[in-house]
């Protein structure tokens, strides 16, 4: 399945997994988030989780996805939910985004553990961006209702050991040093809505674009997808979102080096917004109109900024902005 096929098939989805909005909200309640919560969502798709949680709980976060189409949809969704100042959406390789200096409270990857070549590798990626002590991982992952025979797995286009049973998935988490503290599982209706909606989206696309150069390949792919799901996928494959924390015996050192992760490390001014990147990877955005002295300045002077611990200074404009005010959405 090419990225383009993925974008066509899920063109009418908001949540790009077999999961309902109600269950996504349930996970949000389980996590007990607030305005101080910082979230990183890798392979975020259309950013529905990030925007919903930003609206409901005041969460601030970053979503990363390789698809320009999905990120553009995510930005439109953030605008509609009026959380554009709380979320930053990045087009890029999710596997390359996490950095050891990141300090996110929650790091998530729903249904895309291929970014780390499987569950174990993705856990290693997510852990890099997690804050020291007390952080939470949220992982969406398929599992087998029962272990399939090799020919069944072949029809589903996966290796039998790519996923495990629900009990086997628990063992994989524990082997990675994680404690499973909650889970919410998809049901048959969640899976049906996710799969069958793709069939309709592709059918409409082919009807509207009969001469598309990928039409034959897309038609063949969706037919195979439909057969595989109805013959085998619905019987063998489940999907769930798992909430995980580091086990005590692998917790980070008790006395990590002191670092000010609210320190600004970069700015960008575009599309009427001031974006400030912090040391831990967060990006905060406020409307440029909030700072008339900065908005009216020539671009060269806008870029002439000095960054200090906790504040930014434009010496040529005699202007300053505190990071604490940015974090609280104040002018």
User: pLDDT per position in the chain (331 positions), as tens?
Assistant: 689 999 999 999 999 999 999 999 999 999 999 999 999 999 999 999 999 999 999 999 999 999 999 999 999 999 999 999 999 999 999 999 998 888 899 999 999 999 999 999 999 999 999 988 779 999 999 999 999 999 999 999 999 999 999 999 999 999 999 999 999 999 999 999 999 999 999 999 999 999 999 999 999 999 999 999 999 999 999 999 999 999 853 444 444 444 445 788 888 888 888 888 888 777 887 888 888 888 888 888 888 888 888 888 887 787 888 888 877 666 6
Tokens describing residue 275: 């974006």
Q: Per CATH, the architecture of 264-327 is what? A: 2-Layer Sandwich (3.30)
Read off the pTM: 0.76
| Cβ neighbours of 228 (radius 10 Å) | 18
**Ramachandran angles phi, psi of 69, nearest 5°:** -60, -45
How many Å separate Cα 110 from the centre of its chain?
7
Q: What is the pLDDT of residue 331?
A: 66
d(CA 191, CA 116): 24
Residue 35 and residue 58 in contact, taking contact as beta carbons nearer than 8 Å: yes
Beta-bridge partner residues of 244: 137, 180
Residue carrying structure tokens 């996970």:
27
Q: Where do the CATH 3.30.2020.40 domains begin and end in the chain?
A: 264-327
User: Starting at the edge strand that comes first in sequence, how are the strands of the sheet with 273-278 ordered?
Assistant: 264-270, 273-278, 283-287
Residue 310 and residue 276 in contact, taking contact as beta carbons nearer than 8 Å: no
d(CA 98, CA 70): 20
pLDDT in tens, 113-123: 999 999 999 99
Tokens describing residue 57: 């709980």
Longest CA–CA span in the chain (Å) reads 70
Residue 115 and residue 143 in contact, taking contact as beta carbons nearer than 8 Å: no
Q: What is the pLDDT of residue 249?
A: 37
Give how far Cα 177 sits from Cα of 90, 98, 252, Å.
29, 19, 12
What is the C-alpha radius of gyration for the chain, rounded to an integer number of angstroms? 22
pLDDT in tens, 138-178: 999 999 999 999 999 999 999 999 999 999 999 999 999 99
Nearest one of 49, 46, 5, 18 to 195, comparing CA atoms:
18
Q: Per CATH, the architecture of 3-250 is what? A: 3-Layer(aba) Sandwich (3.40)
Q: What is the pLDDT of residue 188?
A: 96
């Amino acid at each position: 399945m090419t990225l383009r096929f993925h974008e066509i098939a899920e063109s009418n989805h908001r949540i790009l997994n077999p999961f309902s909005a109600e269950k996504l909200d349930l996970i949000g309640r389980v996590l007990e988030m607030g305005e101080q919560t910082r979230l990183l969502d890798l392979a975020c798709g259309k950013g529905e989780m990030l925007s919903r949680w930003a609206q409901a709980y005041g969460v601030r976060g970053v979503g990363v996805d390789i698809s320009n189409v999905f990120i553009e949809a995510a930005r439109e969704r953030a605008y509609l939910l009026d959380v554009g100042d709380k979320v930053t959406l990045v087009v890029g390789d999710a596997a390359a985004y996490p950095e050891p200096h990141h300090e996110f409270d929650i790091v998530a990857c729903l249904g895309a553990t291929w970014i780390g070549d499987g569950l174990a590798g993705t856990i290693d990626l997510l852990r890099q961006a997690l804050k020291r002590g007390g952080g939470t991982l949220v992982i969406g992952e398929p599992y087998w209702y029962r272990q399939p025979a090799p020919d069944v797995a072949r029809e589903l286009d996966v290796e039998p050991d790519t996923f495990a049973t629900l009990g086997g998935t628990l063992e994989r988490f524990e082997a990675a040093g994680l404690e499973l503290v909650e889970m919410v599982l998809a049901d048959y209706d969640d899976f049906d809505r996710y799969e069958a909606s793709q069939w309709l989206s592709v059918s409409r696309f082919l009807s509207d674009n009969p001469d598309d150069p990928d039409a034959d390949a897309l038609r063949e792919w969706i037919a195979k997808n439909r057969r595989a799901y109805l013959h085998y996928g619905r019987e063998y494959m489940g999907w769930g979102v798992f909430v995980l924390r580091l086990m005590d015996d692998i917790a980070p050192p008790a006395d990590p080096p002191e670092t000010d992760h609210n320190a600004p490390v970069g700015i960008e001014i575009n599309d009427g917004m001031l974006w400030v990147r912090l040391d831990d990877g967060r990006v905060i955005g406020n409307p440029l109109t909030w700072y008339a002295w900065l908005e009216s300045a020539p671009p060269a002077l806008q870029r002439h900024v000095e960054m200090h611990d906790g504040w930014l200074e434009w010496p040529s404009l005699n202007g300053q902005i505190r990071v604490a005010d940015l974090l609280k959405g104040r002018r």
